[in-house]
Amino acid sequence: MKILVPVKRVVDANVKVRVKPDQSGVELANVKMSMNPFDEISVEEAVRLKEKGVATEVVVVSVGPAQAQETLRTALAMGADRGILVTTDGPTESLAVAKLLAKIVAEEAPGLVILGKQAIDDDANQTGQMLAALLGWGQGTFASKVEPTADTVSVTREIDGGLETVELKLPAVVTTDLRLNEPRYASLPNIMKAKAKPIANKTPADYGVDVTPRLTTLKVTEPPKRSAGIKVKTVDELIEKLKNSGVIA
């Protein structure tokens, strides 16, 4: 079984994100970029399935600027076999990415597509679901456990009430949650080997997909600063304040 893993290049999770002065978006120039952490979990899961002999090949895909090649190399250093880079300089909206992925799925015919549940830049949490809909495949989202068999995959999902296990017919789409696994550190020999692994360079036009944004960003602002709290002397005082502020009746 071949596994397709889409990965996104995003602002590194440790970077303190700043809004551009013109409020058109967040500052990306000269900011450290890394692989979306949920996508690292997806790559790790796919590589583990390959190491278990369940998967035969792990193909990673990124849609983004030319530098997304570094993100693909990171995935290759973790153990993926080859990469596909679809270069586009504009914003990458979920639907456009899902359409591109659907075309790539048609070419590659994977048994499983494993995506991060969301990217930490726009937190859209849509691409996996849209891809499943476009393909007409089953989807197991927010996975904390993934167990494929010959023609099905059992996915344990993290839901509000606890855990839910669904069984999907293969091929299927899975999106990963935080507790699925702990991604490995790339080893030095694998970093070296990753240099030699192939990355195919594509454009949206190659797939006949129009990636023109459909959304307009009106304004990006920082969240309001937290105002200072107050100390209360008694429980009664606390309850009174909560009532006065309309938090409790």
Partner 1 sequence: MSYTPPLAEQRFVLETIARIDELQALPGFEAATPDLVEAVLTEAGKLAADLFAPLNVVGDKIGSKAVDGVVTTPPGFKEAYNAYAEGGWIGLGAHPEHGGQGLPFVLASAVQEQITSANMAFSLCPMLTLGAIEALQAHASPEQQALYLAPLIEGRWTGTMNLTEPQAGSDVGALRATATPAADGTWRVKGQKIFITWGEHDLTENIVHLVLARTPDAPAGTKGISLFIVPKFLVNADGSLGARNDARVVSTEHKLGIHGSPTCTMAFGDNDDCVGYLVGAENAGMRAMFTMMNHARINVGLEGVAIAERAYQQALTFAGERVQSAKFGGAREPVRIIEHADVRRMLMTVRAFTQAARAIAYLNAAAVDRAHAEADAAKKAEAQGLADLLTPVTKAFSTDIGVEMSSLALQVFGGMGFIEETGAAQHYRDSRIAPIYEGTNGIQALDLVGRKLPMDGGRHWRSLLQRERSFVGGLPKTGELGQMVPYLEDAIEALQTASVWISGNEGDKLADTAAGATPYLRMFGLTIGASLLARQAAEAARRLDVGEGDPAFLKAKIATARFFAEQLLPAAPALLGPITRGADLLYAIPEDALPG
Q: Which is nearer to partner 1, 12 or 206 (CB)?
A: 12
DSSP string, 199-239: EEEE-GGGGT-------------PPPPPPP----SSHHHHH
Give me the amino acid identity at 206.
Answer: D
Structural tokens at position 217:
């960003």
Least Å distance, CB 35 to partner 1, is 11
Distance CA 241, CA 244 (A): 5
Using CB under 8 A, which of the segments 55-63, 191-199, 201-209, 212-220 binds partner 1? 191-199
In sequence order, the 6+-apart residues with CB closer than 8 A to the CB of 214 are 93, 95
Q: Is 187 in the site for partner 1 (CB under 8 A)?
A: yes
Question: Of 191, 197, 206, 207, which one interacts with partner 1 (CB under 8 A)?
Answer: 191
User: Which residue, 13 or 133, is less far from partner 1 as judged by CB?
Assistant: 13
Shortest separation between residue 62's beta carbon and partner 1, angstroms: 15
Site for partner 1 in 101-140 (CB under 8 A): none
Between strands 9-11 and 33-35, the pairing is: antiparallel
195 binds partner 1 (CB under 8 A): yes
Report the nearest approach of partner 1 to the CB of residue 36 (Å): 16
Q: Is 178 in the site for partner 1 (CB under 8 A)?
A: no
- Is the Cβ of residue 178 or residue 191 nearer to partner 1 in the bound state? 191
Judged by phi (left if over 0) then psi (alpha if -120 to 50, else beta), residue 191 lies in alpha
